[in-house]
């Protein structure tokens, strides 16, 4: 990928993500998560807001001490005490950064800060100048940039760049913008702001309209070369752009996003799970990339396609993001092929007639339960054997080991450990069965295979 431009990943899970209600972390929790984020290979870890509390100051110091590869950033408002406190926290880092911010929209200037545009410009410039005297790497964020007057925003960015800012961040603080609009803003700033260097523009998007990832990708296409995001998309209100979605969108669609990141995507699921463990906030099942259902299939047509070739319904392998295996979930939308595969994994090779009997019982049960687990499948096989004629018994008896395993089952495991070698996906195979009766292929299709 040497011909592709790099997009820097700025992880703010420990700072903006932690501001999500119920997601605060103590020093040891931040240290644990920071080590996992470092394993991910992100370029910058924003470790916290040192002025906010003694605990956060200690957390930033600890993260800076523990993790020597990435840039470690500390947040500061545009005032001397914040900047000096941030520097005290990160100065022990191998690669420290001071990240200072000030709102530039009229609504924030008038109603929150109660200062004029002139005061805003001077405060931003002076803050960056102070930060630069302490630290070579300085980032400036224009809070609420997407609702700011573009001409004034250009003036502020020119002033902070002249004062020494190496990265200028354009936050969509309230999640107000849409992709085309945000891309136009990034493009305009890259063209109009004097002194702006290649790669110095950064995107920071919130998800109030569900557009944080789309806006971030639009910004990258328009010239931004840093994306600020969080694991699981946690953050204020509806959250930030999801790190795993931004990274995998570029990885899966290089035809549209010819960029690369340093993120080791195989660690994404582990990072997601650790964050959920620390905060106690679960990931929604249908969350892209790392949700419980992201690589789960219930519909029979989908299961049939997955059995024949996983590319039919999966655009990335689960292993590429650290998920052990695809799951074929048995429910009322499932078909014979998925049921037959599950029976085979439980030790039963069913011929077509045997499978038909079990499948009819399965459909009746699936209308009353959400998921048919392995214990239920064993019960269905027993019932089918009892109700069948002496010449139509299920091929193999219920093995004691299988029965014991089912009896000890406590429910569906989100991502069971797969049976694969060397980390490579092994093809799913259907056990041999008797040929279908004439017309049954069509019946299978109508029933979702």
Listed residues 244, 279, 314: the one ending a domain: 279
* CA-based nearest residue to 55, from 66, 67, 45, 47: 47
In a domain, 168, yes or no: yes
Q: Check whether residue 130 and residue 275 sit in a common domain.
A: yes
Q: Check whether residue 227 and residue 348 sit in a common domain.
A: no
Q: Using alpha carbons, list the distances in angstroms from residue 52 to 81, 110, 169.
A: 11, 24, 21
Q: Check whether residue 132 and residue 234 sit in a common domain.
A: yes
Rg of the chain in Å (alpha carbons): 27
Q: Check whether residue 68 and residue 214 sit in a common domain.
A: yes
In a domain, 291, yes or no: no
Dihedral angle, C-alpha 423, 36, 230, 262, nearest 10 °: -60
Q: Check whether residue 65 and residue 104 sit in a common domain.
A: yes
Listed residues 250, 279, 308: the one ending a domain: 279
The full DSSP string for 11-78 is E-TTTTGGGSTT----HHHHHHHHHHHHHHT-SEEEEE-GGG-HHHHHHHHHHHHH--SSEEEEEEES
Q: Check whether residue 318 and residue 238 sit in a common domain.
A: no
For the four alpha carbons of 217, 219, 221 and 225, in that order, the dihedral sign comes to negative
Instruction: Give the DSSP H/E element, type plus range, for residue 168.
Output: strand 167-172
Query: What are the structure tokens assigned to 335, written together?
Result: 């078909």
* CA-based nearest residue to 381, from 347, 408, 411: 347
In a domain, 269, yes or no: yes
pLDDT at 169: 98
pLDDT in tens, the chain (449 residues): 446 799 999 999 999 999 998 899 999 999 999 999 999 999 999 999 999 999 999 999 999 999 999 999 999 999 999 999 999 999 999 999 999 999 999 999 999 999 999 999 999 999 999 999 999 999 999 999 999 999 999 999 999 999 999 999 999 999 999 999 999 999 999 999 999 988 899 999 999 999 999 999 999 999 999 999 999 999 999 999 999 999 999 999 999 999 999 999 999 999 999 999 999 999 998 999 988 878 777 677 787 787 788 788 788 988 899 887 777 777 888 888 888 888 888 888 888 888 888 888 888 888 888 888 888 888 888 788 766 644 444 444 434 433 443 444 333 333 333 333 333 444 433 334 334 444 444 344 333 33
* CA-based nearest residue to 173, from 196, 148, 143: 143
- For residue 134, what are the domain limits? 5-279
Q: Check whether residue 141 and residue 270 sit in a common domain.
A: yes
For the four alpha carbons of 188, 191, 193 and 197, in that order, the dihedral sign comes to positive
In a domain, 346, yes or no: yes
In a domain, 289, yes or no: no
pLDDT at 300: 72
Backbone phi, then psi, for 422, in 5-degree steps?
55, 25
Number of domains in the chain: 2
Q: Check whether residue 84 and residue 169 sit in a common domain.
A: yes
Listed residues 210, 244, 279: the one ending a domain: 279
pLDDT at 216: 98
In a domain, 158, yes or no: yes
Q: Check whether residue 214 and residue 306 sit in a common domain.
A: no
pLDDT at 298: 66
Q: Check whether residue 416 and residue 270 sit in a common domain.
A: no
In a domain, 112, yes or no: yes
CATH number at residue 101: 3.20.20.70
Q: Check whether residue 272 and residue 300 sit in a common domain.
A: no
Cα 179 → chain centroid? 19
Cβ atoms 39, 259 nearer than 8 A: no
Give the pairing type, strands 167-172 and 5-6: unpaired
Q: Quick one: angle between helices 150-163 and 117-134, nearest 10?
A: 30
Dihedral angle, C-alpha 247, 253, 254, 257, nearest 10 °: -70
In a domain, 365, yes or no: yes
Q: Check whether residue 10 and residue 49 sit in a common domain.
A: yes
pLDDT at 378: 84
Alpha carbons within 13 A on the beta-carbon side of 426: 10
Give the pairing type, strands 259-260 and 296-297: unpaired
């Amino acid at each position: 990928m040497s011909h592709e431009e790099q997009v820097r990943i700025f992880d703010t899970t420990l700072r903006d993500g932690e501001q999500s209600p119920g997601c605060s972390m103590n020093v040891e929790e931040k240290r644990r998560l920071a080590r996992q984020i470092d394993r991910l290979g992100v370029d910058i870890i924003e470790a916290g807001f040192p002025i906010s509390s003694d605990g956060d100051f200690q957390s930033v110091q600890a993260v800076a001490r523990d993790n020597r590869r990435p840039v470690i950033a500390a947040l500061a408002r545009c005032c001397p005490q914040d900047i000096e406190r941030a520097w005290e926290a990160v100065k022990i880092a191998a690669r420290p950064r001071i990240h200072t911010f000030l709102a530039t929209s009229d609504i924030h200037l008038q109603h929150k800060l109660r200062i004029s545009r002139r005061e805003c410009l001077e405060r931003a410039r002076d803050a960056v100048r102070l930060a630069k005297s302490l630290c070579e790497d300085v980032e400036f964020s224009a809070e609420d940039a997407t609702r700011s007057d573009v001409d004034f925003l250009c003036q502020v960015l020119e002033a902070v760049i002249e004062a020494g800012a190496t990265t200028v961040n354009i936050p969509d603080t309230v999640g107000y913008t849409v992709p085309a609009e945000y891309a136009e803003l990034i493009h305009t700033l890259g063209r109009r702001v004097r002194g702006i260097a290649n790669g110095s523009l950064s995107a920071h998007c919130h998800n109030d309209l569900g557009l944080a990832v789309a806006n971030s990708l639009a910004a990258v296409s328009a010239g931004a070369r840093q994306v600020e995001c969080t694991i699981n998309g946690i953050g204020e209100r509806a959250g930030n752009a999801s790190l795993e979605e931004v990274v995998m969108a570029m990885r899966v669609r290089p035809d549209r996003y010819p960029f690369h990141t340093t993120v080791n995507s195989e660690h994404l699921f582990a990072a997601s799970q650790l964050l959920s463990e620390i905060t106690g906030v679960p990931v929604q099942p249908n969350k892209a990339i790392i949700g419980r259902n992201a690589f789960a299939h219930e519909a029979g047509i989908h299961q049939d396609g997955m059995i024949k070739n996983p590319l039919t319904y999966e655009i990335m392998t689960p292993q590429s993001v650290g998920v052990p295996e695809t799951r074929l979930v048995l429910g009322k939308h499932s078909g014979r092929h998925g049921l037959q595969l599950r029976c085979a994994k439980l030790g039963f090779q069913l011929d077509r007639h045997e499978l038909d009997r079990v499948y009819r019982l399965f459909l009746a049960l699936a209308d009353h339960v959400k998921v048919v687990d392995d214990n239920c499948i064993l019960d269905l096989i027993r019932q089918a054997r009892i109700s069948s004629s002496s010449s139509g018994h299920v091929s193999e008896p219920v093995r004691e080991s299988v029965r014991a395993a089912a009896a000890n089952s406590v429910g569906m495991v989100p991502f069971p450990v797969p049976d694969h070698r060397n980390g490579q996906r092994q093809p799913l195979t259907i056990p041999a069965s008797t040929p279908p009766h004439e017309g049954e292929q069509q019946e299978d299709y109508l029933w979702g295979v």
